């Protein structure tokens, strides 16, 4: 197995991508940086990369078991995920089960309004244009995805939502919304990439509705890392905790 970290090929806001000696595999390094507001608000949260990588690993494994193709191959050690190399599609696919965040700022929904079926929203991932929401016609006209692929993306996204929503419910966590990204593998298949973590999802305690995600940082509240650790302690099983030496 190739676990040597090679050249840096991409640096994002919170993750780096490194080459390996296999051209079809990369290592994704989860960093401790946390950003909000288009990168305007920045901080370093000790061990955030560690926890986000193990939380993402858990979700990717559950999804693979449910038949969803993901980029994940193996967590070499916390923070370092061996992954299939993808050509990422610059779309942020946002799924909403409960109204929160920008949906409330932009539309007259009621706070905590439930959506059944869920709302799927697509934003163009582009800092220069500030990630505008787009529709299928614009996405296809931009040329990075076909109409058929958008249909596949929607189907996979709904499956991901139902698998994770049920899993989280069993752990006492509500799943108001989340953002995922897809890419093409070397055979042209649509594959789930990026991460699924408290940086990219809203997680609320089912009983108290306490926020357990990046919204705490966005709002300048304390206890951000504690919330991420709470998510890890609920979603990981004893075997995972033992493997990573976690006393949580
Ligand atoms: N999200 C993300 N990256 C972004 C924008 C949104 O991961 O660049 C996630 C966010 O964590 C939330 C969901 O997508 O779980 C919906 O976010 P929303 O549009 O409500 O934006 P926000 O209120 O976070 O600005």
Shared-domain flag, residues 106 and 188: yes
What residues line ligand 1, using a CB cutoff of 6 Å?
92, 94, 100-103, 131, 177-179, 200-202, 214
Residue 21 alpha carbon to ligand 1 centre in Å:
34
DSSP-derived secondary structure letter, 71: S
Is the predicted pLDDT of residue 2 greater than 60, yes or no? no
Distances (CA, A) of 191 to 50, 96, 139, 184, 203: 23, 21, 18, 6, 24
Average model confidence (pLDDT) across the chain: 97
Query: Which tens digits make up the pLDDT trace of 83-105?
Result: 999 999 999 999 999 999 999 99
Instruction: Compute the average pLDDT of residues 13-23.
Output: 97
- The number of domains in the chain is 2
Among residues of the chain, what percentage have pLDDT more than 70? 98
Residue 3 scores a pLDDT above 80:
no
Range of the domain at 36: 8-86+232-243
Q: Do residues 82 and 200 both lie within one domain?
A: no
Nearest Cα residue to atom 7 of ligand 1: 200
- The answer to whether residue 47 sits within a structural domain is yes
- Report how far residue 16's alpha carbon sits from residue 34's, in angstroms, rounded to the nearest whole number: 13
Residues 232, 197: Cα–Cα separation, whole Å: 9
Contact between 190 and 156 (Cβ < 8 Å): yes
**Atom 23 in ligand 1: residue holding the nearest Cα:** 101
Query: Which residue, by CA, sits nearest to atom 2 of ligand 1?
Result: 200
Q: What is the CATH number for 105?
A: 3.30.470.20
Q: Specify if 128 maps to a domain.
A: yes
Residues 19 and 137 in one domain: no
Give the pLDDT confidence score for residue 39 in this predicted structure.
Answer: 82
Whether residue 64 sits in one domain with residue 167: no
18 assigned to some structural domain: yes
pLDDT of residue 110: 98
- The model's pLDDT over 181-231, given as tens digits with 9 standing for 90+, comes to 999 999 999 999 999 999 999 999 999 999 999 999 999 999 999 999 999
Clarify whether residues 97 and 185 are in a common domain. Answer: yes
Residues 140-186 pLDDT 10s: 999 999 999 999 999 999 999 999 999 999 999 999 999 999 999 99
64 shares its domain with 111: no
> Which residues does 140 contact at the CB level (< 8 Å), separation at least 6?
146, 147, 150
Q: Longest C-alpha distance within the chain, in Å?
A: 52
pLDDT tier at 5 (50, 70, 90 boundaries)?
Answer: confident
The answer to whether residue 1 sits within a structural domain is no
If asked whether residues 94 and 64 sit together in one domain, one would say no
Q: Are residues 219 and 121 in the same domain?
A: yes
189 and 202 co-located in one domain: yes
What is the pTM assigned to this prediction? 0.96
Same domain, 102 and 220: yes
Please give the helix or strand (H or E) that residue 52 lies within, else none.
Answer: helix 48-65
Q: Whose CA is closest to 55, among 196, 206, 209, 213?
A: 196
* CA 92 – ligand 1 centroid, Å: 9
Q: What long-range pairs does 71-75 form, CB within 8 A, spacing at least 24? A: 71/28, 71/183, 71/191, 71/192, 71/193, 71/194, 73/25, 74/1
Instruction: CATH number of the domain at 51, please.
Output: 3.30.200.20
Q: Which residue has the tokens 């650790």?
A: 229
Whether 56 and 94 map to the same domain: the answer is no
Closest among 208, 165, 176 to 59, alpha carbons compared: 165
Q: Is residue 219 part of a domain?
A: yes
pLDDT of 181 reads 98
- Of 33, 36, 94, the residue with max ligand 1 atoms within 8 A of its CB, to mutate for a pocket test, comes to 94
pLDDT digits (tens, 9 = 90+) for 39-68: 889 999 999 999 999 999 999 999 999 999
> Is 45 within a domain?
yes
Predicted pLDDT of residue 38: 82
- 213 and 239 co-located in one domain: no
Q: Is residue 192 part of a domain?
A: yes
């Amino acid at each position: 197995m190739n676990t040597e970290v090679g050249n840096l090929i991409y640096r994002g806001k919170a993750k780096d991508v490194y080459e390996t000696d296999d051209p079809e595999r990369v290592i994704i390094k989860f960093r401790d940086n946390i950003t909000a507001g288009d990168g305007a608000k920045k901080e370093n949260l000790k061990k955030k990369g560690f926890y986000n990588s193990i939380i993402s690993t858990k979700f990717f494994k559950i999804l693979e078991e449910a038949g969803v193709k993901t980029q994940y191959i193996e967590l070499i050690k916390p923070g370092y995920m061996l992954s299939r190399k993808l050509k990422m599609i610059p779309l942020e696919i946002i799924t909403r089960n409960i109204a929160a965040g920008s949906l409330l700022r932009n539309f007259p929904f009621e706070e905590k309004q439930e959506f059944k079926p869920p709302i799927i929203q697509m934003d163009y991932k582009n800092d220069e244009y500030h990630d505008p929401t787009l529709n299928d016609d614009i996405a296809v006209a931009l040329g990075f995805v076909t109409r058929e692929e958008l249909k596949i993306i929607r189907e996979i996204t709904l499956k991901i939502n139902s698998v994770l929503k049920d899993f989280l419910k069993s752990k006492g966590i509500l799943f108001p919304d989340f953002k995922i990204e897809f890419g093409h593998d070397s055979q042209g298949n649509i594959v789930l990439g990026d991460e699924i973590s408290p940086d990219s999802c809203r997680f609320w305690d089912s009983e108290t509705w306490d926020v357990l995600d990046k919204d705490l940082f966005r709002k300048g509240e304390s206890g951000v890392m504690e919330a991420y650790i709470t998510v890890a302690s609920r979603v990981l099983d004893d075997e995972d905790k033992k493997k990573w030496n976690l006393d949580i």
